[in-house]
Amino acid sequence: MKMWGDKRYYSLNYFLRQKFGEKVFKISLDAGFSCPNRDGRISSGGCIFCSARGSGDFAGCGDDLVKQFNDIKQVMNRKWKEGKYIPYFQAYTNTYAPVEVLREKYYSVLNLEGVVGLAIATRPDCLPDDVLDLLSEINEKKYLWVELGLQTIHDDTAKLINRGYPLETYIEAVEKLKKRNIDVVTHVILGLPGEDRKRMLETVEFVAKTNTQGIKLHLLHLMKGTKMVELYERGELRFLEMDEYVDLVVDSIERLPETMVVHRMTGDSPRELLIGPMWSLKKWEVLNAIDRRFIERNTWQGRLA
């Protein structure tokens, strides 16, 4: 059995402490970008699970990125007095703008005091060569990872959720980023409509074989104002039970290579927007239950890889 500190999986906290020698905080930012799946280039509806804030509901607010950064940093420093920071461009599609706009926004926070890296969430179909050149430039200066929203490998589910690109686009984006030595983190959603355990684990196993650096496992949760509410009202969406989800996460992590960092193991929403599952609001209870399940099953990351 392998351990990463006190965990049976390779957590982001462990990875960052090993890499930088101290606590590192992610600071989630909203840089005011749009998304081709919202502005009409691909679709005007967006992914059916995505909130009005482009899945950046816990990101900062306002036009001034430095102020966003400092406001969130101040809140974090009330709990942890020491540490370094990684600005996380979270809301919407954070490579979807002219490269000179991206450069200005990225660099506005990249060289702030205590910043050791940058994290950028985007779509696989929004990585043209000039943007990749900019990302390579940043990667040579400070640590960088790029997050890609895959969610599922299954074409029928991708169509249902209005993802807006085929699996081949994700594969091509991963290869382009790998050629430039840029770390890739893939988003996977567990509990998408119509997907059973087998199909969910097929997506995880696919990601496990990409030789990328990280994965985010999200619990599907339903928020007010999203297109997915229509499925729910028609009885076509079933929420996972907490115990079911905990087992799914452990099943997934067992299949990951020992070198893949687990950036996230659940998903949450602002209480006032959440329709369900309501147990997802108890984030620490969920995470503690996952830790216990690893022990109960006497298993660990990579056991089935």
**Residues 150-172: tens digit of each pLDDT:** 999 999 999 999 999 999 999 99
pLDDT of residue 57: 64
pLDDT of residue 46: 87
> b/e string for 68-99 if b means 16 or more Cβ within 10 A?
bbeebbeeeeeeeeebbbbbbbbbbbbbbbeb
Cβ atoms within 10 Å, residue 160: 18
Q: How far is CA 107 from CA 86, 112, 117, 234, in A?
A: 13, 9, 11, 46
pLDDT of residue 56: 59
Cβ atoms within 10 Å, residue 111: 9
> Which amino acid, one-letter code, is at 51?
S
CB 249 within 8 A of CB 298: no
Please tell me the distance from the alpha carbon of residue 162 to that of residue 43, in angstroms, as a whole number.
Answer: 8
Tokens representing residue 239 in the block: 């929420």
Please tell me the distance from the alpha carbon of residue 261 to that of residue 11, in angstroms, as a whole number.
Answer: 6
- At residue 27, φ and ψ (nearest 5 deg) are -120, 110
DSSP 8-state assignment for residue 303 = T
Closest CA to 84 of 15, 23, 142: 23
pLDDT of residue 20: 97
Residues 283-294 have pLDDT tens digits of 999 999 999 999
pLDDT of residue 89: 97
pLDDT of residue 82: 87
pLDDT of residue 54: 65
Tokens representing residue 234 in the block: 């028609």
Which residues of the chain register pLDDT less than 50? none
pLDDT of residue 77: 85
Model pTM?
0.96
Tokens representing residue 203 in the block: 């997506």
pLDDT of residue 243: 98
> Which amino acid, one-letter code, is at 5?
G
Cβ neighbours of residue 185 closer than 8 Å, sequence gap 6 or more: 119, 145, 146, 147, 148, 212, 213, 214, 215, 216, 261, 263
Supply the mean pLDDT for the chain. Answer: 95
CB 227 within 8 A of CB 162: yes
Residues 34-67 have pLDDT tens digits of 999 998 999 988 899 988 776 656 677 788 999 9
Closest CA to 117 of 91, 89, 96, 77: 89
CATH class of the structural domain 12-297: alpha beta
